[in-house]
A = this chain, B = another copy of it.
């Protein structure tokens, strides 16, 4: 159990995958007394996902508060962002101050570039795994995992897997009963086994 409220930061960038951000936030948003969420953008303007839907940041990279849990989504925007030195430098510095850092989908490529996964086991979207591996020769990527927990780094597989990992994070912070209660409230069938990966051999 954890002292509440838990401060959560979700990073936003142009071309983020919509569901990587909103799946986890719908879950955490059911527990507003437990989780306080900051949406961290480059500025305070609405920022467009890869799907075109724009979300409003609540704080900026330069002003973001310290968080207990930093979450980094993936999406097509990562393809350019891995080469954005200012962003990668910020992510490395900011993330290394967080007790727990999690990525969804190709967010793992950003963590890897920022040296937040050096010496860790991790996973990512199965279709993007070759590209993500190229970003991070020292990271051990698991080709068969819904999500991977290695000490203070949690990384999930493609898009929807972020919801399964987030429910596991709720369980870690607040207990499994609470996680199952949220899953039931949103009628989501939680794939609660991190080692069961129906998409491992699909692509």
* Residue positions of A touching B, CB distance < 8 A: 17-19, 22-23, 25-26, 28-30, 32, 37, 39, 46, 49-56, 125-127, 157-161, 184-189, 191, 198-199, 202-203
A54: which B residues are within 8 A, CB to CB?
Answer: 46, 55-56
CB closest residue in chain B, given A17 = B26
Number of copies of this chain that the complex holds: 2
Contacts A/B (CB < 8 Å), 9 sampled: A18-B25, A19-B26, A25-B51, A26-B51, A29-B49, A125-B187, A159-B185, A159-B188, A160-B188
Partner of A157, one of B28, B126, B187: B187
Across the A-B interface, give the 4 residue pairs with the lowest CB-CB distance, nearest first.
A29-B51, A158-B187, A19-B26, A159-B186
A185: which B residues are within 8 A, CB to CB?
Answer: 127, 158-159
A18: which B residues are within 8 A, CB to CB?
Answer: 22, 25-26, 29
A187-B161, A188-B159, A189-B189 are contacts. A29–B56 as well, Cβ < 8 Å?
no
CB closest residue in chain B, given A191 = B189
A199: which B residues are within 8 A, CB to CB?
Answer: 184, 187
B160 lies within 8 A of A184 (CB): no
B46 lies within 8 A of A25 (CB): no
A29 lies within 8 A of B55 (CB): no
Residue picked from A46, A53, A157, most chain B C-beta under 10 Å: A53
How far apart are the CA atoms of A125 and B54 in the complex, in Å?
27
How far apart are the CA atoms of A160 and B49 in the complex, in Å?
20
CB closest residue in chain B, given A28 = B51
Partner of A22, one of B19, B30, B56: B19
A160: which B residues are within 8 A, CB to CB?
Answer: 186-189
How far apart are the CA atoms of A189 and B49 in the complex, in Å?
22
